[in-house]
Structure 1
Amino acid sequence: MHIMEGFLPVEHAIGWSVASAPVVAYGIHSIRKRIAANPEQRMLLGVAAAFSFVLSAMKLPSVTGSCSHPTGTGLGALLFGPAAMAPIGAVVLLFQALLLAHGGLTTLGANIFSMAIVGPFAAWAVFRLVRRLGGSLAVGVFCAASLADLLTYVTTSVQLAWAFPDPAGGFMASFAKFAGIFAVTQIPLAISEGLLTVLIFNALARFNPQELKDMNLIDAKEARA
């Protein structure tokens, strides 16, 4: 993730920016609507943004032109819905590009699409699926955060493979190479992020049970636990 400045061809950089823009716009609308109806949730929104900023700033060198790191988007996706993380992730990535030299402005759209769109929607879908299948809260949060992280890097592998297909094997060979290299660092990072997100979520459930119950994230029994 955090594809570096100038690494993608111009047409790819523009294409990913165009693909990300509508989701970011809708996410801004969803946040405004949510906070207008529940102004007390501003603190939780700040926690979600800070969590994503701190975790995604902890990078390890990986594939040429990119890096590996946790994403932190799963927590916010569970609290405020996946669309809300698009503008939050956009701000996080913009500040990291300008202040920390992580990623870049020309590749901002591609990085938003992988980390702030695919990851959060994956987290939300996985959490709902696990809960409907009778999984515990901890299992649901762990699976959501871990898979959001992993699918972010699967998306980045697609983006890089599409931009730089292998001369012999084409897109699939290139994708296998990028994904394979990412997997070395990203699988343990995803597991670690899943465990950390469970700890943070449990703390929120302990100190703000009614708020999480109102968000339909925990039931009455879990709120009393």
Structure 2
Amino acid sequence: MHIAEGFLPPIQCAVWFAASAPFVIHGARAVIAKAKESPENKLLLAAAGAFTFVLSAIKLPSVTGSSSHPTGTGAGAILFGPPVMAFLGTIVLLFQALLLAHGGLTTLGANVFSMAIAGPWAGYGIWKLIRRTSAPAWVGVFFAMAVADLVTYCVTSVQLAIAFPDAASGFAGALTKFLTVFAVTQIPLAVAEGVLGVLLFGFFTRVAAPELLRLGVLKEKEVAHV
């Protein structure tokens, strides 16, 4: 869902930068606070950023001017909350724009808003909702990862529809077209990302259960069965 360089009008680029900036600044402060809490947090923060970088670098051609790919932002949102991912996701997107030509600098604000802000908040909301039920942790992980991915693609579709409304049906028609084209690749990718997230947290549970308990990812009774 990286919108390519030059694909959004300058005024819309500026609006998305303005909308994303407060979240990124707040996220930077959250990262500093989490890093100061515990030395172990630094390792997990680095892992969350690397996971997002690697997954979101795997892109498939999709809508002209954009692409389909996993995001990986749900993992960091589960571990540390969505504010942290606003900053980590921005760093990831900036490096990808500069080093891999994924996305762009003028469209960075829009890409940050969809992948590093909207996606993580949606995934985190689903995670917290499911954790209030008796469902096992892996169910929450699966849906948090998948929803974070899907919401990112939905927001990107909105951004593109605003920039390129359909000549006959306007914004609504363009949005339907973008969502439909993205869905062909993005829905299977979201499911695959959910499965990968379950495997990742299964590994974390085996090797770092106390840390997941400290972060509130696992409950006492779940750690007892590890």
Q: Which residue of 1 aligns with 2:48?
A: 48
Q: Which residue of 1 aligns with 2:87?
A: 87
Q: TM-score, normalised by structure 2?
A: 0.98
**How far apart, in 1, do the equivalents of 2:143 and 2:37 lie?**
29
Deviation of 1:39 after TM superposition, in Å, equals 2.3
**How far apart, in 2, do the equivalents of 1:105 and 1:223 lie?**
43
Unpaired segments ≥5 residues, structure 1: none
**How far apart, in 2, do the equivalents of 1:205 and 1:180 lie?**
37
Unpaired segments ≥5 residues, structure 2: none
**How far apart, in 2, do the equivalents of 1:170 and 1:25 lie?**
34
**How far apart, in 2, do the equivalents of 1:161 and 1:20 lie?**
19
**How far apart, in 2, do the equivalents of 1:39 and 1:203 lie?**
20
Q: TM-score, normalised by structure 1?
A: 0.99
Say yes or no: does 1:77 pair with 2:92.
no
1:67-124 Cα shifts (integer Å, max 9, x gaps) = 0000000000001110100110011001111110100000000000000000110111
Q: Partner letter of residue 63 of structure 1?
A: V
Q: Which residue of 1 aligns with 2:19?
A: 19
Q: Which residue of 2 aligns with 1:144?
A: 144
**How far apart, in 1, do the equivalents of 2:27 and 2:95 lie?**
18
Deviation of 1:144 after TM superposition, in Å, equals 0.3
Q: Which residue of 1 aligns with 2:104?
A: 104
Q: Which residue of 2 aligns with 1:177?
A: 177
**How far apart, in 1, do the equivalents of 2:40 and 2:129 lie?**
28
Q: Which residue of 2 aligns with 1:67?
A: 67
Question: How many residues are paired up?
Answer: 225
Say yes or no: does 1:28 pair with 2:55.
no
**How far apart, in 1, do the equivalents of 2:36 and 2:144 lie?**
27
Deviation of 1:37 after TM superposition, in Å, equals 1.6
Q: Which residue of 1 aligns with 2:119?
A: 119
Q: Which residue of 1 aligns with 2:211?
A: 211
**How far apart, in 1, do the equivalents of 2:32 and 2:100 lie?**
28
Seq. identity, % = 56
Deviates more, 1:37-46 or 1:144-153: 37-46
Runs of 4+ residues over 3 Å off in structure 1: none
Q: Partner letter of residue 46 of structure 1?
A: A
Q: Partner letter of residue 122 of structure 1?
A: A
Say yes or no: does 1:168 pair with 2:162.
no
